[in-house]
């Protein structure tokens, strides 16, 4: 699905998504990634939300966000709070949502001029077996 309006003229933004891929500035990403206005970090380590750990928060912290979005794949699944508690301890807002919602929210917050960073798990479908998130 392509987003209907791309009001963000510079920096990294999500331009669309489909099963197994998220478009960043028109380029398909098929593996988990971190995105902010100024940075795009490909191949973020957790391929599934169950793999998320505290160490995965470090690259997000280094971008000095005011708010972090964590996209959990095709389905919303809350990780254990201890995995992202380091963000909360530094007064960084954290929102957990499915990856499509995280992408939409990221673009909205970016358009508002917020210092937002998103860690997105792509969550590809496995043909004939539902989703990897199940």
DSSP state letters, 24-45: ETTEEE-S-EEE-SS-EE-S-S
Strands (DSSP E) along the chain, which ranges?
14-18, 21-24, 27-29, 33-35, 40-41, 67-71, 93-97, 116-120
User: Residue 73 and residue 4: Cα distance in Å, rounded?
Assistant: 22
Residue 116 belongs to a domain? yes
Number of domains in the chain: 1
Task: Calculate mean pLDDT across residues 62-74.
Answer: 96
User: Residue 82 and residue 87: Cα distance in Å, rounded?
Assistant: 10
Residue 93 belongs to a domain? yes
Residue 56 belongs to a domain? yes
Neighbours of 60 (CB within 10 A): 24
Within 8 A by CB and 6+ apart from 36, the residues are 12, 63, 65, 115, 116, 117, 118
Residue 133 belongs to a domain? no
Residue 131 belongs to a domain? no
Task: Give the chain's mean pLDDT.
Answer: 88
What is the model's pLDDT at position 18? 83
Q: What's the CATH code of the domain at 52?
A: 3.40.1230.10
Residue 112 belongs to a domain? yes
pLDDT one-digit tens code per residue, 38-53: 999 998 999 999 999 9
Residue 13 belongs to a domain? no
Range of the domain at 114: 30-120
pLDDT for 129 beyond 50: no
pLDDT one-digit tens code per residue, 1-57: 444 444 556 899 999 988 789 999 999 999 999 999 999 999 899 999 999 999 999
Residue 53 belongs to a domain? yes
């Amino acid at each position: 699905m392509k987003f209907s309006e791309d009001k963000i003229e510079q920096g990294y933004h999500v331009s669309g998504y489909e099963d197994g891929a998220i478009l960043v500035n028109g380029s398909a990403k098929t593996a988990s990634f971190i995105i902010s206005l100024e940075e795009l970090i490909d191949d973020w380590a957790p391929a599934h939300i169950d793999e998320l750990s505290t160490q995965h928060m470090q690259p997000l912290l280094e971008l000095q966000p005011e708010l972090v979005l964590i996209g959990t794949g095709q389905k919303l699944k809350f990780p254990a709070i201890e995995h992202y508690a380091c963000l909360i301890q530094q007064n960084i807002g954290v929102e957990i949502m499915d990856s499509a919602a995280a992408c939409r929210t990221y673009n909205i917050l970016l358009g508002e001029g917020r210092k937002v960073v998103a860690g997105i798990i792509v969550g590809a479908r496995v043909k004939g077996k539902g989703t990897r998130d199940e």
